[in-house]
Amino acid sequence: MHIHVLGAGAGGGFPQWNCNCHNCDGFRRGTIKARSRTQSSICVSGDGVNWVLFNASPDVLKQVQEFAPLQPGRALRDTGIVGIVLIDAQIDHTTGLLMLREGQVKREIYATQMVRNDLTSGNPLFNILGHYCGVNWHEAPIDGSSFEIPGAANLKFSSVALKSKAPPYSPHRYDSHDGDTIGVLIEDTKTGKKLFYAPGLGEIEAHLPALMRQADCIMVDGTFWTDTEMIDLGLMDKTARDIGHIPQSGKGGMMEVLAAYPDARRVLIHINNTNPILNEESVERHLLEGAGIEVSFDGMDIHL
Ligand code: MLT
Ligand code: MN
Ligand code: ZN
């Protein structure tokens, strides 16, 4: 299985256009050692030719420009993307659908009923796309059952509901429903290798360890270092967990969670611009490295 990180940043990317936090300011001034990151997305392929896009980032056009296998190569209008899986309905994971509106062939989109509801109500992207390429919506399961995506050779997908949060424009923002967010176990049916992908993860529920145990690579929510990161900076009045993200540090944090899977490759994604792990020389980054946890970056390739 080929896994390519198109964007490793959270909503807003890094540096964020209006942010002067230590990281964003330090990046612009060149006083910290860090890489810029576009907004959260990966693509996965079983044959290196046909790719499944996970999430459609607002930065998708730049991401496609940077990664030739997704570009047209065979016909006048063409793409290496055979299907798009949306793990939630958030801006940073769905806005790119508008940038992919061209063409006469419908976009094949795999998302839960809840995500479809949000994308036909609070943020009616699917309706808007109906006036362009159109959408072929396929319901993504939330009970761990598996599905295939036509054209995505050698790949099998199983999706489960995860506790996180519906977006601000969802009719049920403060009343979480199963299916607002999913995690996906992706299996290469030829090699048996598996990736567990969950860029939005607010809680480790009872059904998760069994999935993570199977995975050769666990790629999960790396949004915040502490639960109170945004509060401490005076940027928001909510904790990381309030908005559906387990922080890396502290009791029950992601470092502690990932310590239980030492044999898997463990990678953080969806990293917020305020997170000190973006600074490659920070104490926090060194703590992660010491624990064998990787911080993904745009352009990162993983072969399983
Ligand atoms: C989130 O996952 O909480 C988002 O990154 C928020 C956003 O896109 O603004
Ligand atoms: Mn997000
Ligand atoms: Zn910032």
- Domain ranges in the chain? 2-303
Distance 27 CA to ligand 3 centre (A): 9
Contacts of 188 (CB under 8 A, 6+ apart): 1, 46, 154, 155, 194, 304
Distance in angstroms (rounded) separating the CA atoms of residues 101 and 246? 33
Residues 180 and 163: their CA atoms lie apart, in Å, by: 8
* Residue 165 confidence (pLDDT): 84
Residue-level pLDDT at 174: 82
- Counting ligands in written order, the one closest to the CA of 240 is 1
3-state helix, strand, coil in the chain (%, to 5): 20, 25, 55
Say which CATH class 2-303 falls into: alpha beta
- What integer is the mean pLDDT of 115-122? 98
Q: Which atom of ligand 1 is nearest to the CA of 200?
A: 2
Cβ 183 under 6 angstroms from ligand 1: no
- Place 223 in a pLDDT band, splitting at 50, 70 and 90: very high
pLDDT of residue 146: 98
Q: How confident is the model at residue 173 (pLDDT cuts 50, 70, 90)?
A: confident
Contact between residue 94 and residue 125 where contact means Cβ atoms under 8 Å apart = yes
Using a pLDDT cut of 70, give the percent of the chain over it: 100
Q: Is the CB of 92 under 6 A from ligand 1?
A: yes
Which pLDDT score, from 0 to 100, does residue 98 have?
98
Q: pLDDT tens across 74-117, in order? A: 999 999 999 999 999 999 999 999 999 999 999 999 999 999 99
Overall average pLDDT of the 21-38 stretch: 98
Contact in structure between 224 and 30 (CB atoms under 8 Å): no
164 pLDDT higher than 90: no
